[in-house]
Amino acid sequence: MGRDIIADIITSIRNADMDQKRRVQIASTNITKNIVKILLREGFIENARKHQESKKNFLVSTLRNRNARKRNPRNLKRISRPGLRIYSNYQRIPKILGGMGIVVLSTSRGMMTDREARLEKIGGEILCYIW
């Protein structure tokens, strides 16, 4: 049984946000790098850098707006998981909070947000919701 890397990222960010920590350390893989790039583009994290510790690579991300968001936690939800994959075509990709949140999709053209997928008219696996 393998590890669910996407669920690990979501849980790490959610836990750091609840503990009011500013930095999160995430294992570095291709999937995590792509998700962190999306989070950077959309403004959910401030920056990310590579870090190596005892021959293991990590991404250290800084969460955004910690002081401005009092008691307003960041919400992340894993949708598709290893036991139950959820796919959608571009017409049926859900809108989170009327477009305020994002849906992260894994498509044949790489990972992208729901807005990008609708513009390119391409569907894929719905990985997570972030709002």
d(CA 122, CA 110): 11
Q: Which CATH number fits the domain that encloses residue 21?
A: 3.30.1370.30
Q: Domain range spanning residue 61?
A: 5-130
Report the Cα 84 to chain-centroid distance in Å: 18
DSSP run (H or E) holding 128: strand 124-130
DSSP run (H or E) holding 27: strand 23-27
Report the Cα 114 to chain-centroid distance in Å: 12
Number of domain units in the chain: 1
Query: Is 103 a residue whose pLDDT tops 50?
Result: yes
Q: Residue 71: its pLDDT value, please?
A: 46
Q: Residue 17: its pLDDT value, please?
A: 87
Residue spans of beta strands (DSSP E) within the chain: 23-27, 45-53, 56-63, 76-78, 87-88, 102-107, 110-113, 124-130
Query: Is 3 a residue whose pLDDT tops 70?
Result: yes
Tell me the pLDDT tens digit for each residue of 12-67: 999 998 888 999 999 999 999 999 999 999 988 999 999 999 999 999 999 987 55
Q: pTM of the prediction? A: 0.88
User: DSSP label at 2?
Assistant: -
Q: Which among 109, 106, 129, 128 is positioned nearest to 120, based on CA atoms?
A: 109
Tell me the pLDDT tens digit for each residue of 68-102: 554 455 799 999 999 999 999 999 999 999 989 99
Compute φ and ψ for 49, nearest 5 degrees: -140, 155
